[in-house]
């Protein structure tokens, strides 16, 4: 994840929107039971944390897969490992 996007995610004053989601009652009860144990103020912040963790993991996996696919394609087109390493180094120094 890019640094700017990460900084935005850490901003507690981000705009929020209300949604309605149907979930099994036992899942809600488990969230309510675990929230205080894990240091959350309620089950909704815990549910948001779980959704955020899964979202970040998938974004990282998918964005990483895109970069890997691009590198593989460039190699097939004859770009040397040395040039790829140099370019990756430049890209990650931002």
Closest by Cα among 42, 40, 48, 39 to 18: 48
Q: What are phi and psi of 12, to 5 degrees?
A: -75, -15
Domain ranges (residues) in the chain = 3-92
In the predicted structure, residue 36 carries a pLDDT above the cut 90: yes
- Taking only Cα atoms into account, the Rg of the chain, rounded to an integer number of angstroms, comes to 20
The per-residue pLDDT for 64 is 72
Percent of all residues in the chain with a pLDDT value above 70, rounded to a whole number: 86
pLDDT tens per residue across span 48-92: 999 989 988 888 777 777 777 888 888 899 988 888 888 877 777
Average pLDDT, the chain: 85
Give the whole-angstrom CA distance, residue 4 versus residue 6: 5
């Amino acid at each position: 994840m890019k640094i700017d996007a990460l900084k935005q995610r850490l901003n507690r004053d981000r705009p929020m929107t209300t949604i309605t989601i149907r979930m099994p009652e036992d899942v809600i009860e488990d969230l309510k039971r675990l929230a205080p144990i894990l240091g959350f103020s309620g089950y909704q912040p815990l549910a948001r944390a779980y959704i955020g963790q899964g979202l970040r993991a998938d974004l990282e996996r998918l964005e990483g897969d895109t970069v890997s696919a691009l590198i593989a394609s460039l190699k097939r087109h004859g770009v040397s490992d040395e040039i790829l390493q140099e370019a990756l180094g430049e890209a990650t120094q931002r």
